[in-house]
Structure 1
Amino acid sequence: MNITYYGHSCFGVEIKGRKILFDPFISPNELAKNIRVETVEADYILISHGHGDHVADAVAIAQRTNAKVICNYEIGLWLEKKNVKNIHSMNIGGKVKLDFGNIKCVAAQHSSGLPDGTYGGNPMGFVIESSEGNFYYAGDTALTYDMKLIGDYRKIDFAFLPIGDNYTMGVDNAIIACNFIQCNQIIGMHYDTFESIKIDKLETLAKFERAGKKLTLMKIGETRATQDLN
């Protein structure tokens, strides 16, 4: 399994030769200015919620690649109006079996307005199950006790957690989330893009280390194999 970081909360994960893209926000992100969005590949696009910093490039990439978009029902309707054809709408608690593995939608505590002001449905996170490993993509969320269900439900090999605070949980709550999901291998997201979510990287890494957790902060444009996270 390979992971590519495109900035903010946007990651590409390759599983069994299939390319899964999470929350595509690239072209408006000044920190990702060296990423050519027109070259980003996807077989599936997973959208956790409707905010612009998670859907900005979703329509363009979906139309160019014909990737299947996995999202909630309301975002699916919004995408249909924008002439995106390949959509699989879901909701919290639902699970779908695909050619690379399974996607289960789980709760996220956040808001979800779309860029045009329309209602974006309930925000979600995703648990991905595959023969190459299981992982949790939290999306934008506060710390919630529902996360304990994820740790009880499946062995999670690694997780993408927001750590920027202000709009989502911050570092201290993310460390608690590690305990809830029973996973100590974390990839940080939703930090540094805006002034209000900037973090002290050295302090953040030290906090995770003191708690017995491994936090990886990937460079934008970097690709890593999951075995290199250890």
Structure 2
Amino acid sequence: MGIELKYIGWSSFIFTDNNGFRMMTDPFLCGNEDFKILPSPVAPKDVKTDLIICSHCSSDHFAQAFEIMDANPNSKLLGDLATLAIAERAGYGNYLDGRTELITAGATYVESDFTVHATSARHIAFQTLENGTFITGEPLCYMIEIQGGPTCFFGGDTSLTYDMKLWGNIYKPEIAILGIGGADLNGRSLRELSPNDAAVCAKMLGVKKVIPMHYRLKSDVEEFQRSILKIYPDCQIIEMKSKDVLKLS
């Protein structure tokens, strides 16, 4: 069937390998009116996935994880300790006996044709629990190697760090999926990775193609296009809309 990448919305993508195994990133579909983030046209109950990988436990990267797990009873959740602690509190067991798999920066997880390397994200993972207390964790990026396909960098919510140059040298990714925008905070766009910084990131990684994500405004894409032309003109921007499918092989 070939290797595919489907965009669901915001930071949510579904990778499908040659075995038909599906892996989803950052399951946030509901949107947020307060932050002017539109919902995805895809409902959680309609998502088909075998593995969910979360960059961190913030709501706009994690909110629909349990709905999607319930709709896919054999699926698993891969994430840092804080993400899995929230899952355990929700009744999904701990990482030793439940439907969750622990990963941390430097660790690797292999499933089907996917080899997922976790790297540190320059960010914060934060969530409010049902009793009003707070939990923070380890935000992550993922370098995703696909047997028979390209290596892809999924940036999660990271800001710019020179580590990206090292990761590019080690893993040699061909595609980067990078945030270029952010939520609206009283008229100010909170962007962890600005379009200009994202262009620098793509150059340090040495990728041939970059897919923008995590943005609300057309102006973010236009700014990103200008930055790429100035900083890294050899890189191709692939702008995806919700439900778009990209063939990776």
TM-score (norm 2): 0.83
Match of 1:55 among 62, 67, 72: 62
Give the letter aligned to residue 2 of structure 1: E
Match of 2:30 among 21, 27, 36: 27
Q: What residue number does 1:149 align with?
A: 166
Query: Cα offset for 1:205?
Result: 2.1
Q: What residue number does 1:167 align with?
A: 191
Query: Cα offset for 1:177?
Result: 0.6
Query: Cα offset for 1:40?
Result: 0.6
2:21 counterpart of 1:18: yes
Determine which structure has the larger helix proportion and give its number. 1
* 1:200/1:176 CA distance change after superposition, 3 Å: closer
**8 Å Cα contact 1:93-1:105 kept in structure 2:** yes
Query: Cα offset for 1:33?
Result: 4.7
Q: Distance in 1 between matches of 2:14 and 2:211?
A: 13
Q: What residue number does 2:246 align with?
A: 224
Q: Distance in 1 between matches of 2:40 and 2:103?
A: 32
2:224 counterpart of 1:204: yes
Q: Distance in 1 between matches of 2:220 and 2:158?
A: 20
Match of 1:214 among 225, 236, 242: 236
Measured on the aligned residues, the alpha-carbon RMSD in Å equals: 1.8
Aligned residues: 223
Structure 1 runs (4+) deviating above 4 angstroms are none
2:80 counterpart of 1:72: yes
User: More displaced, 37-46 or 113-122?
Assistant: 113-122
Match of 1:110 among 114, 123, 126: 123
Aligned-pair identity (%): 25
2:89 counterpart of 1:81: yes
Unaligned runs of 5+ residues in structure 2 are 93-97, 183-189
Query: Cα offset for 1:147?
Result: 0.9
Query: Cα offset for 1:118?
Result: 2.7
**8 Å Cα contact 1:27-1:33 kept in structure 2:** yes
Unaligned runs of 5+ residues in structure 1 are none
TM-score (norm 1): 0.90
Query: Cα offset for 1:115?
Result: 4.2
Q: Distance in 2 between matches of 1:167 and 1:119?
A: 22
The structure whose Rg is larger is: 2
